[in-house]
Structure 1
């Protein structure tokens, strides 16, 4: 056996040397083994929603056959209706009883019952909706409510641990754990305006409208869908989506203050670039939108945008097919400045627009 005394630690150094050697294996010591405190902070604010909606039952196709109806005298049988139960989740965000949930959870319902973690129940009133972001604001009249602490979704990083709290399959409040898999996910066709936090924390049917929280119990997002629901392609493999809390809270404050979501407005009509249009305008790609009309006295007209311009960047970001640019404008506030780059007669032109208030009819 070879022996090298010069490599032995001096007295008192053995422990520190051992810690250095084992430091890669000390991950568990530097990370919490339980998220119970986070759940305790957030779970009183997460509610179960039980809603009922009236739906028409599908009739057998024979009832629409004129021969069948003639011989069996079924011409006057009315189409049957029944009450269908739906389940979801919600999050208390204000001590006055305001809740956030998904629009698709309460769409078309006749009655919404909110069940709190402490066993209390209340009927909910729909205060307002935001179809474009799939959000809804509800209100209940109960004392001593616990609003959830609001986190900072713009500061989250991919790999951060998150917890999803909701009412999957109507089983009652359930917590699942995962990480932030991605941010600013778009193009999922879940809603018109998309800016999702992606997570592998399980988000099952009934979790919609529940809370995605950080390890301190602060709200990061409103759980909305998993990949099964958004794509219809089968097993999601742990891919879920949540609307960032700042987007949701802006919906809440706008609806309470103005009765609707207040959106920025540029005042252009545009169409995506086809390969033929890109070739006609001598553009290297189809990234951008062709301005087909500019509203009179609009922010676009005041900024100098003209019909025939091709918008290629908004706030220094390439806009692709234009849907991202439309969302960037709509989710800005009236009075915000945006930087726009257009191609006009083959040359780039930079301009600044000050957004107005999106008209109701828009």
Structure 2
């Protein structure tokens, strides 16, 4: 006798059916119907106890985004699975043995099915083998047994969930004024103004308008967006998913990470918010969704995967997530979402024209949400981010520099200049020093030093291990407050 275990659902309690092993192969999924990237059906089996054919309906929808192609490769938290009710399922002594056997058998069969339908992965076969069905059910019950309230999402479900918290941001800015000239009328107006004692010549002011995106993170109307979306703006307007428009004010902004925090100017009103996730847990290859306002096309949803992590484009504070989800001008400030509907990044930049007529495609960048969390905490409290500052100009230690300075390796940061009266100058650091360690953290690359120092608040006393003329010395240093620049300079941004 073999055990066939079905996951619990809201309408059908988990049950164990005793089926003869010879008849296990005859289990089939019938009454297949496709609705919005999901399928529903029933299981037909032979019940030995009643000696008759039985049919067990699957009342929950199976979530199957590219099912045949993804099943053998994705980690358990990305598998399509059934909704599990809050009622705890009964434990059986032989459960683990049965589960291991069925999962191995199921994966073997699913690989065969996948190869057969690889060329048409978006088209589902009309009949599934028992192994494929069991794998889907078991992955759901095993992967989420500890948290029965986990809810699976298809792309459509994620888009529907995040939609109310994504906003469109439009800004306007006065970029200058010019003197009206070049015709007789303007010259006469200027002469009249001078005759009557009004020396102000007629001018015409220009206003620049731009579009971006943002995501609501608190019911009081706090919104995360990019600094380059709202910097120098005279007016900020926010449009919600239901087309309501509000004025917004800047709470704080950070040039280094290109993050800004704004708030809707509307009292006694609560707004739908997004759930912030954990960007450290995201892995290369996992599905992500970008939502934003590209070219003014509100609430556009695109999908892709995480292509890479820890990308550095320009400065030491860069730590981007790279994705091939389509990001275009206007997406800036919008959320990057994982398969469970959590915001794991803020879309920021794209690679544009490379050289000649070559354009990059499928290369977009997002700021990890774990970095954003720390930034917005300071923005709410201080209006800016307070970072520890050493007060030096540094460069990478190359092989040539290591040989000329008689260094054992290429790790560390070479000091090429010292800011006068800065923290390093006051501590006695000089040009030509090579900083090898900050407190207990080794400096592998020069870019590590400012990033590590910035994680400590100004006023913190630290110790630096320095190589000077071949000798290693320890220098105590009190971090200063990082001076903020006025404008952000991001390459290939909207």
Q: What TM bracket, shorter-length normalisation?
A: 0.7 to 0.9
- Which of the two has higher C-alpha Rg? 2
SS at match of 1:52: strand
Q: 1:166 aligns with which of 285, 292, 295?
A: 292
Q: Which runs of 5+ in 1 are unaligned?
A: 1-9
Aligned pairs for 1:1-362 (under 5 A) are 11-12=22-23, 14=25, 19-24=106-111, 25=114, 34-56=154-176, 80-142=204-266, 143-186=269-312, 188-189=313-314, 193-228=317-352, 234-265=358-389, 267-272=390-395, 280-283=404-407, 288-290=413-415, 292-293=417-418, 298=423, 308-312=432-436, 315-319=441-445, 322-334=446-458, 341-348=465-472, 356=479, 358=481, 360=483
Deviations 1:47-95 (A, max 9, x none): 00111122347899xx8xxxx999x969967664222221100111112
SS at match of 1:206: coil
Structure 1: distance between partners of 2:323 and 2:463: 32
- C-alpha contact (below 8 Å) 1:294/1:306 kept by paired residues: no
Cα gap change, 1:219 to 1:300, in 2 (>3 Å): farther
- C-alpha contact (below 8 Å) 1:287/1:318 kept by paired residues: yes
Cα gap change, 1:219 to 1:52, in 2 (>3 Å): same
Structure 2: distance between partners of 1:227 and 1:35: 25
What is the RMSD of the two structures over their aligned residues, measured on CA atoms? 4.1
Deviations 1:305-359 (A, max 9, x none): 666421245523412xx3442233224445879785532332456x597864525
Cα gap change, 1:224 to 1:44, in 2 (>3 Å): same
Higher RCO structure (Cα 8 Å, ≥6 apart): 1
Q: Which runs of 5+ in 2 are unaligned?
A: 1-20, 28-101, 115-131, 141-151, 191-200, 486-494
Taking structure 2 as the reference length, the TM-score comes to 0.58
Taking structure 1 as the reference length, the TM-score comes to 0.77
- C-alpha contact (below 8 Å) 1:102/1:208 kept by paired residues: yes
1:240 deviates by 0.5
Structure 1: distance between partners of 2:302 and 2:260: 23
Structure 2: distance between partners of 1:165 and 1:172: 9
Structure 2: distance between partners of 1:233 and 1:75: 48
1:236 deviates by 2.3
Cα gap change, 1:264 to 1:12, in 2 (>3 Å): farther
Q: Give the number of aligned pairs.
A: 340
Greater Cα offset, 291-300 or 216-225: 291-300
